Structure 1
Amino acid sequence: MKKVCIFGGTFNPPHIGHLIMANEVYHALDFDEIRFMPNAKPPHKEATQLATGEQRLHMLELAVEPFSYFTVESLEIVRGGLSYSFDTMMELQKQEPQTQFSFLIGADMIAYLDQWYKIDELVKHIQLIGVRRPGYDDKSAYPVTIIDAPLIDLSSTMLRNRLQQGKDVSLLIPESVQSYIRQEKLYE
């Protein structure tokens, strides 16, 4: 059976923190593939979309290109509307019944698991994988496998602010993604 870990998020923009988290989980748990899946509209965040779903998909494709074990999943962007992990994971399991799915979240999301849509049902179907993040607690009443990874206090919000101010992000966002951001005039 193929082992796939879905890494959901807004990825607005994707950065090296995302890649490091995914890489550490891939190696720690011997996955066949990590799929980055940008959400259409997260139920837990404001409706501000600084980059379109298609632009976020494209940035992810650029970011993961050098890694054969990273791919991008477009399901939530194509489907549109609110992105609930339970609905998405059930749909993926239906499409790929021979795949064992897990779901990767950062420590910032672990604290909010009790607020997730159908979380009690979700954890019966998939394994939740958590990665520590500076300033966040990784304790949960729900079963979450915690993976140690280099702790980098980096967020897309911080990077958007730097980009808006014209500051350098060259060590924090892959060059191919930076080029695309400049080309599309995103986050100005």
Structure 2
Amino acid sequence: MSDSETAPQSQQGIGILGGSFDPVHMGHLWMAESALEQLPIEHVHWIPAATSPLKPHGPVASNEQRLQMLRLALSGQEGHVIDDWELQQDGISFTRLTLEHLHQRFPERPLYLIIGADSLASFDRWRDPERILELCHLAVIARGGQAPPDYSILDSMAAPDRLRTIRESQISMPQIEISSSDLRDRVSSGRSIRFQVPHPVRTLISQEKLYQEE
């Protein structure tokens, strides 16, 4: 797998999974694999964010460290592409700009933006949400044991046929109690993160002394 892998021409869609990945963990990997199984997509673009407008304090690990963790986690795995376009912009990452870039790059292929139900609940706070819905289909993660995603927030933002496609693009997966912030806290307090991140990622975190208190 290459960071700059070029997709073959086809009508299959492209999944988009953005985030800080600070660090990438098994929950991220399971989410992406579920998307590959359930959506009409050829691969998932992993797009690490430079600075999220909803998380202005930014990531803890450096851009290169987060990219290296992704490379280690995804090495040799088909269907996964690391896309560092947002990092190359060196600024706040707005989803609309990323989608417009991908639409220009793959004009004939539908884009599926993979998000959690919590992100759907705050979708009206995103920049240009109506434009985002024009550029992509949302693919919302529905986790077992949690309330179903509430799509009513989108009712005034898109046409009924687009809303129907979004509902049909829902991704089902088990509830996984892993978060990057909890993993950082565990490392900081000297607790184990074994089996919660891929082994090579855990080794890099230890070697680089990431997330350890000064």
Offset from partner CA, 1:162-181 (integer Å, 9 cap, x none): 11111111110000111111
Q: TM-score scaled by structure 1?
A: 0.93
1:162 aligned residue (182, 186, 190): 186
Q: Which amino acid aligns with 1:67?
A: Q
In the alignment, which residue of structure 2 is the partner of 1:27? 37
Query: Following the alignment from structure 2 to structure 1, what is the Cα–Cα distance between the partners of residues 24 and 40?
Result: 23
Q: Which amino acid aligns with 2:197?
A: I
1:50 aligned residue (60, 71, 74): 60
| Residue-pair matches, total | 188
Q: Would the aligned equivalents of 2:45 and 2:81 in 1 still touch at CA under 8 Å? A: yes
Query: Following the alignment from structure 1 to structure 2, what is the Cα–Cα distance between the partners of residues 80 and 70?
Result: 23
Distance 1:25 1:17, change over 3 A: same
Q: How does 1:63-82 map to 2 (within 5 A)?
A: 63-82=73-92
Instruction: Give SS of 1:99's match.
Output: coil
Query: Following the alignment from structure 2 to structure 1, what is the Cα–Cα distance between the partners of residues 195 and 147?
Result: 24
Offset from partner CA, 1:102-155 (integer Å, 9 cap, x none): 111112211110111111111012111111346676212224432110111211
Q: How does 1:118-137 map to 2 (within 5 A)?
A: 118-133=128-143
In the alignment, which residue of structure 1 is the partner of 2:157? none
Q: CA deviation at 1:53?
A: 1.4
2:149 aligned residue (127, 134, 138): 138
Q: Over the residues paired in the alignment, what is the CA RMSD in angstroms? A: 1.6
* Structure number with bigger Rg: 2
1:150 aligned residue (170, 174, 177): 174
Distance 1:171 1:132, change over 3 A: same
Query: Following the alignment from structure 2 to structure 1, what is the Cα–Cα distance between the partners of residues 131 and 92?
Result: 18
**Which runs of no fewer than 5 residues in structure 2 stay unpaired?**
1-10, 155-162
Q: Would the aligned equivalents of 1:61 and 1:71 in 2 still touch at CA under 8 Å? A: no
Query: Following the alignment from structure 2 to structure 1, what is the Cα–Cα distance between the partners of residues 72 and 47?
Result: 14
Structure 1 stretches of 4+ moved >4 Å: 133-137
Query: Following the alignment from structure 1 to structure 2, what is the Cα–Cα distance between the partners of residues 163 and 81?
Result: 28
Residues 57-66 or 133-142, more deviating: 133-142
Q: CA deviation at 1:46?
A: 3.4
Q: Which amino acid aligns with 1:27?
A: E
Offset from partner CA, 1:62-113 (integer Å, 9 cap, x none): 1111421111110001111110000111011112323322111112211110
Instruction: Give SS of 2:110's match.
Output: strand
Query: Following the alignment from structure 1 to structure 2, what is the Cα–Cα distance between the partners of residues 92 and 119?
Result: 17
Q: TM-score scaled by structure 2?
A: 0.82
Instruction: Give SS of 1:14's match.
Output: coil
